[in-house]
């Protein structure tokens, strides 16, 4: 075991070779090791530059009017739900709004506030509104950079999945588990 550990440390350990895999520092050192450079000929692609998969009108309507319980295993729904929990639920838990109580993600409020339209919802997700940050790669080219509060923008596909997820949940007044 000692020889294997020494060979591993000599090849992969970022610092001194006396680092022991059983030490607490070993995990920290390995976690902070820089990522290896890509192999020759490998092209890295920024996924935020890739377009979203087009959604046909019939499919979009199905996604908007089908209850969450029937959609929750579909890739777009799972992606939208995960992103909502990670990026939105802190202020918009269960469709609410912790900053402005009359600006919830429920259909009545979306309609009253003039944003119950897919294009307007997309604009708000992309470029923010009020205290909400924008999440798109081109956010700072469209609005003041202080409105763009994310270090890593969402891909076009994720923006689309999130938008449809929010519209689906709003259509059912955020009832049930998303």
pLDDT tens-digit series, residues 122-165: 999 999 998 899 999 999 999 988 888 777 889 999 999 999 99
Can you give the pTM of this predicted structure?
0.71
pLDDT of 123 reads: 94
Listed as ranges, residues in the chain with pLDDT below 70 are 1-39, 41-49, 176-178
Quick one: the chain helix, strand, coil %, rounded to 5? Answer: 55, 0, 45
DSSP string, 14-58: SS-TT--TTSHHHHHHHHTSPPPPPPTT-----GGGSPPPP--HH
3-state secondary structure of 135: coil
pLDDT of 67 reads: 93
pLDDT of 4 reads: 44
């Amino acid at each position: 075991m000692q020889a294997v550990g020494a060979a591993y440390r000599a090849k992969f350990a970022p610092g001194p070779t006396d680092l022991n895999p059983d030490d607490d520092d070993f995990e920290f050192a390995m976690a902070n090791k820089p990522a290896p450079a890509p192999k020759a000929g490998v092209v890295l692609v920024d996924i935020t530059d890739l377009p979203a998969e087009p959604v046909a009108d019939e499919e979009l309507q199905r996604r908007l009017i089908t209850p969450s319980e029937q959609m929750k295993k579909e890739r777009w729904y799972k992606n939208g739900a995960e992103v909502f929990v990670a990026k939105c639920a802190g202020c918009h838990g269960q469709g609410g709004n912790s900053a402005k109580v009359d600006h919830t993600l429920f259909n009545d409020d979306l309609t009253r506030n003039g944003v119950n339209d897919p294009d307007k919802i997309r604009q708000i997700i992309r470029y923010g509104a009020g205290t909400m940050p924008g999440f798109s790669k081109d956010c700072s080219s469209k609005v003041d950079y202080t409105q763009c509060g994310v270090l890593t923008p969402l891909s076009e596909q994720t923006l689309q999945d999130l938008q449809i997820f929010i519209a689906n949940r709003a259509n059912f007044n955020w009832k049930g588990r998303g």
